[in-house]
Amino acid sequence: MSDWDLDLRDAEEKMDEAFAAAGDVVLGVLDGTTDPEERVRSVDYGNTLVLSIAGDLNELAAPFARDVKDMGGELMHFRGFLVVTPPGVSIDTDRLSDSGHGGDESAEADDGDER
C-alpha cells in the first residue's frame, strides 16, 4: 500500500455537509463578516441566498458578485436585501411592475454595483 494519508470518512462527512443544504434558501446578513468564498460555495451548491444588507452594498457584495455572475448566478437588490441565486434559478421581477411601484425598489447588482 502507498504512503498516502487519506481519510475517506472525513471526506465523506465534508461532502455530506456540503450537499445537505443544496437547493435551500439560506438567510443571512451581508455585513462583511462572512468569507466571500463561503458565499460563492453556497451558491455553487445550488443555494439561494437572501441577505439583509448591513452597510454599503457595493463594498459588501464586491468580493463575491463577479464570481457568482461568472458561474451564471444572479444578484438582485430588493428592499434592503440582496438576493443571490445559483445558475439555472432566475429572479422573476414581472410582478414588481404590476405592484404600482414601477419596480423602483429593485436593481441588479453586478460586481457589487447597483444599477
Written as nine digits, the cell of 74 is: 444572479
pLDDT tier, 16 (very low <50, low <70, confident <90, very high otherwise):
low
Q: What integer pLDDT is reported at residue 7 of this predicted model? A: 74
pLDDT in tens, 37-70: 999 999 999 999 999 999 999 999 999 999 999 9
Q: What integer pLDDT is reported at residue 25 of this predicted model? A: 95
What is the H or E stretch that residue 18 is in? helix 8-20
Task: Report whether 62 contacts 10 (CB < 8 A).
Answer: no
Is the pLDDT assigned to residue 111 strictly greater than 60?
no
Domains and CATH numbers, the chain: 28-109 (3.30.110)
Mean per-residue pLDDT of the chain? 83
How many helices (H) and strands (E) would you count in the chain? 4, 6
Selection from 114, 102, 112, 73 nearest residue 90 by Cα: 73
